[in-house]
Amino acid sequence: MRNILVLLGIALGMARAALGTVDMLVLYNGEVTLPANTVFGFWGAVPREGTDLSFTPVPVAPKVYGIPFALQGRYQGVRVDFPTPINTDTFLGKGDAFLELFVRSTNFTPSARVPFPPLTSIRVNFFTQGGSNTLAVPASEFFPLDEVDGNWIRLAVPMKRLNAKYPINGDLLRLLITTDSPVKFLLGRIAFTRDIAMLHATISTFPATLRTGEPVNFSASVEGGLTPYTLSWNFGLTADRTTVDATGEVVTATFPQAGSYTVTCTVRDTDGIKDPISVTRIVKVTGVKVPNIKVNIDN
Q: Is the pLDDT of residue 228 over 60?
A: yes
At residue 229, what are phi and psi to the nearest 5 degrees?
-145, 165
The segment(s) of the chain belonging to CATH 2.60.120.430 are 16-195
For residue 291, whether the previous peptide bond is cis, meaning omega lies within 30 degrees of 0, is no
Average pLDDT rounded to a whole number, residues 10-14: 39
Task: Name every residue whose Cβ is closer than 8 Å to that of residue 181 and which is 6 or more positions away in sequence.
Answer: 73, 118, 119, 120
Among 28-37, 95-104, 122-131, 155-164, the least confident range: 155-164
Quick one: fold of 200-286? Immunoglobulin-like (2.60.40)
pLDDT tens string 242-258: 899 999 999 999 999 99
Quick one: fold of 16-195? Jelly Rolls (2.60.120)
Model pLDDT, residue 241: 80
pLDDT tens string 181-226: 888 889 999 998 888 778 889 999 888 788 899 999 999 988 877 7
Q: Is the pLDDT of residue 3 over 60?
A: no
Q: Are 26 and 37 in contact (CB under 8 A)?
A: no
Q: Is the pLDDT of residue 69 over 70?
A: yes
- Torsion over CA: 90, 96, 97, 102 (sign): negative
Q: Which residue has the higher pLDDT, 206 or 32?
A: 32
Three-state DSSP at 141 gives helix
Among 44-48, 67-71, 118-122, 171-175, the least confident range: 44-48
Taking CA 279 as the corner, what is the angle to CA 278 and CA 280, rounded to the nearest 5 degrees? 125
Task: Name every residue whose Cβ is closer than 8 Å to that of residue 299 and which is 6 or more positions away in sequence.
Answer: none
The per-type count for the chain, helices as H runs and strands as E runs, is 1, 20
Three-state DSSP at 40 gives strand
Among 68-72, 152-156, 201-205, the least confident range: 152-156
From the list 258, 281, 271, the residue with the least C-alpha distance to 229 is 271
* pTM, full prediction: 0.71
Question: Partners of 238 in the beta sheet?
Answer: none
CA distance 195 to 212: 43
pLDDT tens string 106-152: 776 655 666 677 778 888 888 888 788 888 877 777 766 654 455 78
Mean of the per-residue pLDDT values of the chain? 78
- DSSP class of residue 298 equals -
Q: Is the pLDDT of residue 285 over 90?
A: yes
From the list 177, 157, 11, 173, the residue with the least C-alpha distance to 94 is 157
Model pLDDT, residue 253: 94
The segment(s) of the chain belonging to CATH 2.60.40.10 are 200-286
Model pLDDT, residue 1: 35
